[in-house]
Structure formats: structure tokens, C-alpha cells
Amino acid sequence: MLDKFNELPDWISRGLEDLFPHNYSEDSDQSFIKRLELASKEKKPLRVKLGIDPTGTDIHIGHSILFRKLRAFQDAGHTAVLIIGDFTARIGDPTGKSKTRIQLSKDEVESNALNYLEQLGLGKDPKNSLLDFTTHGRLEIRRNSDWLENLNLSKVIELLSNSTVGQMLAKEDFSNRYKSGTPISLHEFLYPLLQGYDSVAINSDLELGGTDQKFNITMGRDLQRAFGQKPQFGMLLPILVGLDGTQKMSKSLDNFVGINEDSLSMYSKLEKVPDDLVYSYLNLLTNENLKGLSSNPREVQKLMALTITSNFNGVEAARKAQSNSEKLVFGTQDLLEEIPEASVSKVNFPAKAFYLVSKMGLCSSSSDARRQILGGGVRIDGEKIIDPNLQFETPDDVIGKIIQVGKKKFLRVSS
């Protein structure tokens, strides 16, 4: 926690990277603590905005940092306004992109949105979900197509008049593309304006975002002023570094942990996180007391893996995963309790080892499976496979066996 946020409650300041504006003032437009006090005095919960563009299908633990903070505001009695960017997702956020994103169809976006909501806890007990979907007044789910799809040209021109080309090109991603001669489509300039207009449409008091979202959140503040509203505060949280220890967590980089992964896969990935990331994972992904940690780095790492796995899969499943992980390490697979299963129904037999491993989803491609096998990273029931062309004649040759790739990926083969 940074010293400059000491006056804020720990549930707000934990993991906080930036809060703007952040002034020691009596003005509730400049001091967030004063905005909180005003909300309490008037018995009017803050409206806390978090927008998600459902351009993919899966949520990983890096995404959960923002949802955990949103849940903290829910638990404190405030109203979470979750904006499904079903309209803006068709444009795609240009932040962090070196070229124009492919636009998605309306049906693709809606399918992804429903998938996201289920992962966040739709239909589940609040005790077992990232967000509270059931307590009255704690959550609004809004789709920004409700107000963006039918904007007329005069309103679009009004929005455009509140920004300049210079402001847009000051945005790092646009600036880099402009300097390198990479095309920037005009519709991409609309994205931060439309996302900012979301804050106007829902009358946001506070917007949560990653550290790469400051430009977009600031645009929301500017537009709220232009439309006569009290400007929202911006609260930025860190972007989680992935399992490789270098790049941000991303499914495309295969350095992620999905929030719906089985407990054994989740635990096994987390206990291999590089030592220098363990503290930040505990800080950002748990409520663990950081002042009483063991002096033994390995014990702290195991605590982190166990706690995060418990948060998503329950304490009992996490403890079984910890036990099973140790059995895998020591080669006692026959004593494993619960392990993820995958069917061979889509595998055509006879099947060579590299094809089997790839088809079971343990490697990204057949060539990757070959490399893993040749590198000694593949085991079947604890026995190392060194020939990628080793052939299995029928499903019975592998059903019931455990295939392991590296130290993080494994499954039991089922029929």
C-alpha cells in the first residue's frame, strides 16, 4: 500500500496503483475520502463503474483484480455498475494494440458477454462468486448499446467536439502507430469518447480500470463535466504479470490461470510462480495478512497458491489439490484423489504420442507436442515419453492413465 493512500480504508487502498484526483481537500469533487463521507451522510451509495468489452470468452485471475475491488465496494454497501460493452466491443479498445482490431459481430459479442457473466457468478451464491448478483441494490448490469446504438449524428458531433486530434495522438498507442506510419482508423478515435460517454449515461461516481485505462477514464471525467455532472474519480489497479514472470497475464501468451480451471491445475500453476511475483499475487488476489508471512519463501509460495485456489474452488478442493500436486512431484500418481479428466472420443486411433498430446489439449499444436516430448517434458503415468512417434493402437492403451506435460499441465484420460 502506498503511503499517499493511508487515509483510505485498507479495503480500498490495498493494491491501489493510482487514484485521481487525489487532493487533501474539503471538496468532494477533489477528495475521494470526502466523496465517501458525503455518500454516507446522504445515505446514497456510490455508483462504481467497471466496463468490460467481451472480446474474448475466458476470465483469468489477472482480470479478477478489478472484479475483486468492485466486490469490495459492493460489500461496503455501494452499487456496482457493470457495463457490458456490447457496442464498444464491436470497435475494440485500441489500448495496447499496434494495429486496428478486427471488429466482432453482435452475436459474437453477446455470446461472450453471457459467458463472462456466468464466470463472474450469475446464478451462484455470492459466497462462491466474484460478484454479488443477488443482494438488492448492489449490482446493475447495463449494456452500452442501450444508449450508444441509437446516437444521432448531432450527438456524435457533440461528443467529438469535446476532444481534439492532439489529445488523441497524445495517447501512447495512437502516438506510436502514427509515428511508425501504421494506419489508425477514424472509428478508433471514437472508442475513448464512447467509453467516456458510458460514465455520463450511468452517472458514475468512480470508475475502476487497469493502469492502461487512465486516458479513457479521464475522458469520462471530461464528458461528465461537459454534460453538467459531477466528475467521477478514477481508480487504477495493476496489471498482473503472468506465470512467465515477464509479460502481462494473457491467454494468447499461455502464461495465465483461468478462474474456472480445476483446482489441481490452478494450484500447480500457482506454486511455480517466480519468487519475485509471490508477494504481488498475495497482495492483489487475496485478503491474506501480509505482515505475518513466513520467512521461508517456499512456504509463502505454497500459501499463495493454496489461498488463491481456495478463493475460486473452495478450501477442501484446494487442500486436495495441494496434496495431489505433491504426489505428482514425488511420483506417487496411484495415490491421487481428484484430477481433471478429458475424453479421447475425438482422438483417431491408432494415434502417435505427439498427436495424442496435442489433441487432448495439453499442447498448443502438434509441433509443440513434438518439442515437449523430445525435450523430456511429457510423462504418461509417471514414465517419460521420448519418442513423439510412439503409437497407441486403441483407446484402451491410454484410458485411465495420467498424461503430464511439464509441471503444470496434466489430466487423466477417460473414454
237-250 residue pLDDT tens: 999 999 999 999 98
- For the four alpha carbons of 401, 406, 407 and 408, in that order, the dihedral sign comes to negative
Sheet holding 409-414, edge to edge: 341-343, 409-414, 402-405, 378-380, 383-384
pLDDT at 275: 92
Matching CATH topology for 3-237 and 341-414?
A: no
Site of grid cell 448478483: 133
Who contacts 62 (Cβ-Cβ below 8 Å, separation ≥6)? 239, 240, 242, 248, 249, 250, 256
CATH architecture of structural domain 3-237:
3-Layer(aba) Sandwich (3.40)
| Chain position carrying cell 514425488 | 330
Do residues 91 and 84 lie in contact, with contact meaning Cβ atoms separated by under 8 Å? Answer: no
- Grid coordinates belonging to 325: 500436486
DSSP 145-208: HHHHTT--HHHHHHHHTT--HHHHHHSHHHHHHHHHT----HHHHHHHHHHHHHHHHHT-SEEE
Give the count of beta carbons closer than 10 Å to the beta carbon of residue 110: 17
Rounded to a whole number of angstroms, the CA Rg of the chain reads: 24
Amino acid at 340: P
Instruction: Using 70 as the pLDDT threshold, list the residues of the chain that sit under it.
Output: 1-3, 92-103, 327-338, 381-382, 407-408
Residue 213: all three cell numbers together = 485505462
- Give the integer Cα–Cα distance in Å for 50 and 34: 21
Asked if 113 contacts 54 with a C-beta cutoff of 8 angstroms, the reply is: yes
Place of cell 505475518: 292
pLDDT of residue 173: 80
Domain boundaries, the chain: 3-237, 263-332, 341-414
Max CA-CA distance within the chain? 76
Do β-strands 378-380 and 402-405 pair in parallel, antiparallel, or remain unpaired? antiparallel
Residue 237 — left, alpha, or beta (φ > 0 → left; ψ -120 to 50 → alpha)? beta
Selecting from 3.30.565.10, 3.40.50.800, 2.60.40.1120, 3.10.290.10, what CATH number does the domain 341-414 have?
Answer: 3.10.290.10
Peptide bond into 21 cis (omega under 30): yes
Q: Mind giving me the DSSP string for 328-366?
A: HHTT-GGG-----EEE-TTPPSSEEHHHHHHHTTSSSSH
- The string over 376-394, giving b where at least 16 C-beta atoms fall within 10 Å of a residue's C-beta and e elsewhere, is ebbbbeeeebeebeeebee
Name every residue whose Cβ is closer than 8 Å to that of residue 94 and which is 6 or more positions away in sequence.
100, 101, 173, 174, 184, 188, 191
Task: For residue 163, count other CB atoms closer than 10 A to its CB.
Answer: 17
Half-sphere exposure of 155 (CA within 13 A, CB side): 11
> pLDDT value at position 54?
82
Q: What is the pLDDT of residue 98?
A: 46
Backbone region of residue 304 per phi and psi (left: phi > 0; alpha: psi in -120 to 50; beta: other values): alpha
